[in-house]
Amino acid sequence: MLADTPQTPEQWAEFIAAAETQQTAQQARLQEILNGSYSDAEKQAAVHDYMLQSDYLSWVKSKYAEYSQTGVLPADMTYRCNLSGNVYRYFKEGTTSEYEYKLLELGFPPYADTNEHEIAHMQPAEVRTFDLIKSPDLTLQLKVTAGSWADPIIKYKYNTGNYPGVTIFTDNYQRTTFEILASGRWATDVSYAPSSSTDGNRNYYKIGYAWSSGFTWIPTWGQWTSALWGPYSYGPSGSGTDGIVAQQVTSVQKSGTVDTPWNYYNDSVLPDVDPDDAFFPGGYSPIPQKPDPDMPEFPEEVENSGDDIELPEPSDVGAGSSGFITFYAMTNAQVQTLGQLLYTTFTDPDYYKNFLPFTMGSAGSVNISDIISLFISFRQYPFPLLNLSSYTGVGQTFYIGSGAVGLPFGTTLHSINCLDYVDCGTCSVPFWFGDFRDYQTQVTLYLPYCGTVELNPADVMGGTLQCTYAVDFCTGACTAYVTVTSWDGKKYPVAQLPGQIGADVPLSGTNAGQISARIGGDVLNFAGTVLSGAKNVVSGGIGAIVGGISGNLGSTAKQGYGALFSEWDTLINVGKQIAGIGQRGAVAAPALSAGRGFAAFKNAATAYIQVRSPIYSMPDNYAEAVGYPSTDAVQIDSCTGFCQFVNVDVSGITADARDAAAIKRLLEQGIYVNTAPTA
């Protein structure tokens, strides 16, 4: 029973007018979709919805007729959709004329948005003039005989190679392998001899015209023109006779069955709408087929007033700008070159002096370990560094230490910033069911070298995730920042996951991993440390900082920058200090599932998302036993079957308080509403 059953003639008029208004709007919408750039599924859905609306309007009018004839309200005002039967009748195979008739009846041209669907423009009488034979492999054979334009046809010639095929429905319906019955027949009867020379320039032909005598020439694939040419002589460029000449098509005979656009609307594609389960508009299926293209439409009454949350730009100072260190981005060959320079080729002790002026030792007292001790870290990263924004060529000399003299390297070296970013792109998370189940899922995001993180489905369903890695080349750490652009256009971060992306490569007996642990801390804290210490630098000089930290400087402690790291132990102490400061930062331990070191390189290299949805069981008697959710305030006798209420107004019941409370409790527990049995 409808909630507002019309009681008076005026209400009936309003009732019908409302249905007709809906009908008009739905028709306009259908017209728009059929003529627009919409997918076949959307067009199908539009026709489907229109059929529903039409069915509803017919039902309204039938009820009014019943009321006007008898003068009493119809006993049954429950709308029962008869959609499925109608749709099947209209669109099943072999019902071309019915389909044609139905669309014409609706007041607009039949389903035809592009030239590929042109056959749908055929009037029923014209359709009958075809002789189309469909073999089991969907090959369409066309037999054309010469004659007049009295019975025009629509055909497309599709350039498929040496011999042009003919297709009526192309890509949209996956019918691309139609062939002409016989070239001789075709050439003779329509005075057209297909050849490679002409076919190569004409990808698409339309022969004949359904609405009037004439011929529409389509010069190139996808280029549609509605210009009508003369029925007897025309060419690809509007002149000459190298096109179809003197077309005299009298008839095209049809036999067999041809797959046509209306057959696209077959049983397998149509929504399974149970008339007894109908819910206007759009039908109701307890478990909608997936995916549901209708979801979501943002509720109009909800004001989406959230703000975009953007990630900030980092500070313009960093570890590199401190002047302490340099990050060389090196290829494998360059690393090998460096090793050769250090261990074999480069043997002149004076170079050591130049590289280590602050050691102030004799040439003989300087050894390779002194050089290596100036290496803070050496790591491999699983991505090409040349794509980084800070990747900069710095010449062919490898500098270290004071930088007074460098190693002649031979190839251009590159440096990078301590902090740079790797863009991992985006990942769309589509609505799958189009109902509440999309929000009862488990959404797991895997980020290489960081591990997995559970996301709130409400944040990501229907949205697009974007992932960016901030890589700290000072420590090898990384932080994956994941933002989502939700389906309603808002952008906000949903995950920030730390990890370890750089794998330490041991350089010497001093394990690089241990160095990393001592130097740990993110670049921002490192920079903050330097800036904080700069207060002291102003007056006491940087050497004084080191003196304060280690308390272990020699006599050369105040000889400037080069004296900073006169001893390796000093460097270690600095590392300890920096590490201690860095631990106050936000860098957390990487997720255990991500792994570390070279072993982590075996992990999945692409970020991905997993969505796990529970499969719900829907017993046949679910509505009777449990009931579907509802949000209506209704009179109880307008319901049928199992119903559960809250806040029932029992003030109208002539019962004592005890009975009224008992009744209220029963209604909240759920009752079966039925009509009073007849005596």
Site for another protein in 338-397 (CB under 8 A): 338, 374-386, 390, 392, 394
d(CA 519, CA 607): 29
CB of 594 to another protein, least distance (A): 12
499-528 binders of another protein (CB under 8 A)? 501-502, 505
d(CA 320, CA 433): 50
CB of 225 to another protein, least distance (A): 37
- If the CB atoms of residues 592 and 679 are measured against another protein, the closer one turns out to be 679
288-317 binders of another protein (CB under 8 A)? 288, 295, 316-317
CB of 183 to another protein, least distance (A): 45
18-57 binders of another protein (CB under 8 A)? none
d(CA 517, CA 475): 8
- If the CB atoms of residues 198 and 402 are measured against another protein, the closer one turns out to be 402
335 lines the binding site for another protein (CB under 8 A)? yes
d(CA 478, CA 525): 14
Collect all residues with Cβ–Cβ distance below 8 Å to 15 and sequence separation of at least 6. Answer: 6, 60, 64
- If the CB atoms of residues 218 and 422 are measured against another protein, the closer one turns out to be 422
CB of 65 to another protein, least distance (A): 22
Binding residue (CB under 8 A) for another protein from 9, 256, 306, 425:
425
- If the CB atoms of residues 125 and 676 are measured against another protein, the closer one turns out to be 676
CB of 362 to another protein, least distance (A): 21
Residue among 502, 481, 483, 506 at smallest CA distance from 493? 483
Q: What is the 3-state secondary structure (H, E, C) of 290-305?
A: CCCCCCCCCCCCCCCC
Binding residue (CB under 8 A) for another protein from 64, 99, 158, 473:
473
Binding residue (CB under 8 A) for another protein from 74, 271, 403, 513:
403
CB of 539 to another protein, least distance (A): 23
DSSP H or E segment with residue 442: strand 442-447
**Torsion sign, CA atoms 498, 503, 507, 508:** positive
DSSP H or E segment with residue 529: helix 523-550
675 lines the binding site for another protein (CB under 8 A)? yes
CA distances from 44 to 33, 104, 150, 158 (A): 10, 17, 33, 26
- If the CB atoms of residues 278 and 497 are measured against another protein, the closer one turns out to be 278
Segment lying near another protein (by CB under 8 A), choices 204-212, 229-237, 238-246, 413-421 = 413-421
271 lines the binding site for another protein (CB under 8 A)? no
594-653 binders of another protein (CB under 8 A)? 601, 605-619, 622-624, 626-650, 652-653
CB of 297 to another protein, least distance (A): 10
Q: Are 3 and 634 in contact (CB under 8 A)?
A: yes
- If the CB atoms of residues 144 and 519 are measured against another protein, the closer one turns out to be 519
55-84 binders of another protein (CB under 8 A)? 78-79
Segment lying near another protein (by CB under 8 A), choices 125-133, 242-250, 551-559, 658-666 = 658-666
Residue among 289, 543, 573 at smallest CA distance from 431? 289
Buried b (16+ CB within 10 A) or exposed e, 205-243: bbbbbbeeebbbbbeeeeebeeeebebeebbbeeeeeeb
- If the CB atoms of residues 591 and 650 are measured against another protein, the closer one turns out to be 650
Residue among 314, 368, 321, 326 at smallest CA distance from 345? 368
* 453 beta partners: 445
DSSP H or E segment with residue 206: strand 204-207
Nearest 10 degrees: CA dihedral of 312, 316, 317, 321? 140
- Interface with another protein (CB under 8 A), residue total 147
Binding residue (CB under 8 A) for another protein from 132, 140, 180, 419:
419
Binding residue (CB under 8 A) for another protein from 417, 525, 573, 577:
417
Degrees to nearest 5, angle at CA 644 with 638 and 650: 70
320 lines the binding site for another protein (CB under 8 A)? yes
657 lines the binding site for another protein (CB under 8 A)? no
Q: What is the 3-state secondary structure (H, E, C) of 246-259?
A: CCCEEEECCCCCCC
SS3 132: strand
CB of 584 to another protein, least distance (A): 21
Q: Are 296 and 458 in contact (CB under 8 A)?
A: no
CB of 13 to another protein, least distance (A): 22
CB of 87 to another protein, least distance (A): 19
SS3 310: coil
426-465 binders of another protein (CB under 8 A)? 426-430, 432, 434-436, 439-440, 442, 448-449, 465
565-594 binders of another protein (CB under 8 A)? 565, 571
Strands 397-398 and 140-142 turn out to be unpaired
Segment lying near another protein (by CB under 8 A), choices 5-13, 67-75, 263-271, 334-342 = 334-342
CB of 299 to another protein, least distance (A): 10
- If the CB atoms of residues 137 and 300 are measured against another protein, the closer one turns out to be 300
672 lines the binding site for another protein (CB under 8 A)? yes
Q: Are 258 and 140 in contact (CB under 8 A)?
A: yes
CA distances from 556 to 112, 136, 546, 551, 676 (A): 89, 94, 12, 13, 107
d(CA 361, CA 206): 91
In the shown chain, the binding pattern of residues 199 to 228 toward another protein, with x for contact by CB under 8 A and - for none, equals ------------------------------
CB of 500 to another protein, least distance (A): 13
Binding residue (CB under 8 A) for another protein from 166, 424, 524, 587:
424
Strands 179-180 and 140-142 turn out to be parallel
* 464 beta partners: 428, 485
474 lines the binding site for another protein (CB under 8 A)? yes
423 lines the binding site for another protein (CB under 8 A)? yes
401 lines the binding site for another protein (CB under 8 A)? yes
